[in-house]
């Protein structure tokens, strides 16, 4: 349940487990996942692998570890990764590709977190001893800093096909892949088949308190499991968390359409507030970025005014803030947030 009186739009990670999810956690059969015998973790890993059409999956504590374990499993030190310049692995994972995998990043450009085949080709290194080896393509779907944008499946297919021609590996940062699938109507397994590894997150949108998974072929996932242990991510009776993730998969994917509708509603309302700029037609899933006119002050100051009115949002740049819808925010609360936003802009 949400905090009484607060409309928390900071992220879809702020949700609290429902009573039914808590019951599933308390009733979960437990073992020792480090020793490989936690039955609920095993069940979750099998369920996620099946959902994505992969041979195996590895349960990890966070989305950052999911991405970084996959990158480490697919690369060698000195390799280079191609991804969008606004990717999560660049901005929100504390330089981990360099520290953990010893990899450089070639940052692609393109609107709303997506780039073209021509842009990809521009970044591929020549095959000689002077250059790092272009080794890995990473696509983020949905794309957080792109405003929850969904990658078209045909563009994914063309990019990953070119990467294969060049002997590269492909990783999907699918922390919000559930949202992409619900919004586009493209099955998750269809997205996943183009990638060697897929990271999915159960605490973003689905309401679980924590954890993610990496899916792929058996040999790669065995390597991911070793890296998880190296990074301190192997846990003991983690079936408690796996049970929450299983419940989330079975009960909370379909309802993501409600969050998408609420995000559209929020964007349309904010667009009517003087001094705020947002294009509601670009809102595809549950993330809304809003540009604020300097006449209303800095985004951080505006968010403080909103916070005092019981609406919590995150400033992401001097003149930009973010609002994210989720299962703990109703349509009625969205309307209240819009009203309070209008009052804060006067």
pLDDT computed for residue 5 by the predictor: 85
**CB-CB contact of 201 with 176 (8 Å):** yes
Mean of the per-residue pLDDT values for the chain? 97
Q: Which residues, at least 6 apart from 134, have a Cβ–Cβ distance to it below 8 Å?
A: 79, 80, 82, 106, 123, 124, 125, 166, 168
Average pLDDT, stretch 11-15?
A: 97
Residue 22 tokens, joined: 């808590």
Residue 262 tokens, joined: 């609420």
Residue 234 tokens, joined: 């192997």
Q: Which helix H or strand E contains 84, and what residues bound it?
A: strand 79-84
Which ranges of the chain does DSSP label H, i.e. alpha helix?
Answer: 19-26, 39-52, 63-74, 88-91, 96-101, 117-123, 153-165, 177-184, 188-192, 218-230, 239-251, 256-271, 299-308, 331-344
pLDDT computed for residue 223 by the predictor: 98
Rounded-to-10 torsion of CA 204, 210, 332, 319: -60
Q: Is the pLDDT of residue 1 over 70?
A: no
**CB-CB contact of 283 with 147 (8 Å):** yes
Q: What are phi and psi of 140, to 5 degrees?
A: -105, 120
Q: What are phi and psi of 105, to 5 degrees?
A: -125, 130
pLDDT computed for residue 345 by the predictor: 86
Residue 34 tokens, joined: 């480090």
Q: Is the pLDDT of residue 2 over 90?
A: no
Q: What is the pLDDT of residues 22-71, one digit of tens each?
A: 999 999 999 999 999 999 999 999 999 999 999 999 999 999 999 999 99
Domains defined along the chain, listed by start: 7-14+255-344 (3.90.1150.10), 31-251 (3.40.640.10)
Structure pTM?
A: 0.96
Q: What are phi and psi of 221, to 5 degrees?
A: -70, -30
**CB-CB contact of 181 with 187 (8 Å):** yes
């Amino acid at each position: 349940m949400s905090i009484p009186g607060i409309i928390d739009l900071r992220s879809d990670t702020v949700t609290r487990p429902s009573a039914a999810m808590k019951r599933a956690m308390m009733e979960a059969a437990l073992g020792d996942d480090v020793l490989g015998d936690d039955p609920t973790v095993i069940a979750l890993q099998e369920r996620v692998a099946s959902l994505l059409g992969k041979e195996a999956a590895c349960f990890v504590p966070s989305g950052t570890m999911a991405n970084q374990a996959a990158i480490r499993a697919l690369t060698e030190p000195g390799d280079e990764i191609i991804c969008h310049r606004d990717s999560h692995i660049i901005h929100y994972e504390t330089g981990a590709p360099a520290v953990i995998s010893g990899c450089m990043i070639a940052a692609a450009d393109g609107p709303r977190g997506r780039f073209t085949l021509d842009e990809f080709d521009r970044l591929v290194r020549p095959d000689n001893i002077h250059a790092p080896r272009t080794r890995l393509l990473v696509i983020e779907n949905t794309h957080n800093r792109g405003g929850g944008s969904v990658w078209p499946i045909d563009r994914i297919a063309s990019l990953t096909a070119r990467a294969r021609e060049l002997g590269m590996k492909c990783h999907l940062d699918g922390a919000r892949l559930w949202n992409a699938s619900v919004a586009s109507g493209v099955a998750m397994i269809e997205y996943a088949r183009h990638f060697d590894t897929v990271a999915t997150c159960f605490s973003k949108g689905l309401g679980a308190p924590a954890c993610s998974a990496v899916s792929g072929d058996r040999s790669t996932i065995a390597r991911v499991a070793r890296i998880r242990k190296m990074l301190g991510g192997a846990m003991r009776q983690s079936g408690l968390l796996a049970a929450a993730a299983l419940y989330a998969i079975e009960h909370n994917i379909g309802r993501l359409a409600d969050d998408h509708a609420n995000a559209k509603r929020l964007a349309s309302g904010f667009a009517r507030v003087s001094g705020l700029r947002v294009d509601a037609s670009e809102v595809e899933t549950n993330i809304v970025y809003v540009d604020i006119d300097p006449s209303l002050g800095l985004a951080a100051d505006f968010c403080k005014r909103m916070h005092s009115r019981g609406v919590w949002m995150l400033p992401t740049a001097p003149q930009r803030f973010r609002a994210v819808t989720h299962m703990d925010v109703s349509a009625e609360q969205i309307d209240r947030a819009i009203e309070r936003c209008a009052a804060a802009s006067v």
